[in-house]
Amino acid sequence: MDGYIRLGDIPKHFGLNRGDSVWVASDVKTLLYNCIENGDDTDLNVLIDGILDIITEEGTLLIPTFNWDFCKGKAFDIRTSPCRTGSLGKIALKRKDFIRTRHPIYSFAVWGRDAKKLAEMDNLSSFGGNSPFSYCREVNAKNVFIDVPPQHSFTFVHYVEQMKGVSYRYLKAFSADYTDENGITTKRTYSMNVRCLDRDIFLTIYPFEELFEKAGASKQYQVNGISMETIEMGRVYDIIADDVINHDSSRICTFNGQKESMAKNSWETLWRK
């Protein structure tokens, strides 16, 4: 136990303040293993409550409860469709103090000041301008990563891609039965900005780290030997957008035709000068 930080105290290291809006992405397997090894509590509600104690009811907590079954034509029930993005989301959905946002693919369990506002959003597009992703930009939400690298879990990047427009993704509509919070089932259509399969896209994202840190918009740290990071989403929006607009998303990903497109844009820029 020497030097060990207990589960409920871990959020004190996230760099959070009273009134913050916070999005938590996590893989808690190693965290829970450490708890067992040190005789600590393994109830993840303790971790969630530790965050709530810091941000208070003046803040807002978003925990991803994403589920991609709707893309396969499977019915979505906002009351019962499971979270496919980890244990924290599953636990949050069981709590009476959290409510779920409406999008059947990219939903969140939300708590706090703006929970009702987020739950009332009826964005048809996953990453649209009237979505929880846009909210995170507007309020400069802090995206906390627990033992997951942003390369695989910084979903906010896809919001920037849609807002600025990219050649390697397109909006695709999906339709299936949707059951709302009142138990009423209707056929609904929602969209997602999906990959163009022929572009052979490979996400990188990690080359942003240096730029984020230089801008003072992120910090990387370790707690109990577990890698963690906090990124201020509103502050990094322009950094990501610049990559999309001026560098053909070269820090976000690689894709077929990217080098040719970058060369063309470079030539056009020189020609305009």
Can you give the pLDDT at residue 257? 86
Domain residue limits at 154: 7-197+218-233
**145 HSE (CA, 13 A, CB side):** 21
SS3 labels along 39-71: CCCCCCHHHHHHHHHHHCCCCEEEEECCCCHHH
Residue 237 token pair: 């929006």
- Which of 229, 222, 265 shows the shortest CA–CA distance to 5? 222
Between the two ends of the chain, the Cα-to-Cα distance in Å is 63
Of the pLDDT bands very low, low, confident and very high (cuts 50, 70, 90), residue 45 is very high
Helices 156-164 + 233-247 axis angle, to 10:
50
Residue 2 has pLDDT above 90, yes or no: no
Can you give the pLDDT at residue 259? 74
Dump the DSSP string for the chain: -TTPPPGGGGGGGS---TT-EEEEEE--HHHHHHHHHTT----THHHHHHHHHHH-TTSEEEEE----GGGGT--EETTTPPP-S-HHHHHHHH-TT-EE-S-SSS-EEEEETTHHHHHT---SBTT-TTSHHHHHHHTT-EEEEES--HHHH-THHHHHHHHH--TTEEEEEEEEEEE-TTS-EEEEEEEEEEE-GGG--EE--GGGHHHHHHTT-EEEEEETTEEEEEEEHHHHHHHHHHHHHHHTTTTTEE-TTHHHHHHHHHHHHHHH-
**Cβ-Cβ contacts under 8 Å for 71 (sequence gap 6 or more):** 105, 174, 192
CA angle 159, 84, 48 (to 5 degrees): 85
d(Cα 129, Cα 97) in Å, to the nearest integer?
27
Q: Per-residue pLDDT tens for 77-87?
A: 999 999 999 99
Q: What number is the average pLDDT over the span 43-48?
A: 98
Residue 260 has pLDDT above 90, yes or no: no
Residue 119 token pair: 């739950």
Structural domain contains residue 213: no
Structural domain contains residue 257: no
Structural domain contains residue 121: yes
Residue 265 token pair: 């844009």
Q: Per-residue pLDDT tens for 223-255?
A: 999 999 999 999 999 999 999 999 999 999 999
Structural domain contains residue 58: yes
Structural domain contains residue 131: yes
Number of domains in the chain: 1
d(Cα 154, Cα 35) in Å, to the nearest integer?
26
**Cβ-Cβ contacts under 8 Å for 167 (sequence gap 6 or more):** 196, 199, 257, 261
Structural domain contains residue 205: no
Query: In whole numbers, what is the pLDDT of the chain averaged over residues?
Result: 94
Structural domain contains residue 262: no
Residue 97 token pair: 């103090």
Q: Per-residue pLDDT tens for 176-205?
A: 999 999 999 999 999 999 999 999 999 999
Structural domain contains residue 185: yes
Of the pLDDT bands very low, low, confident and very high (cuts 50, 70, 90), residue 270 is very low
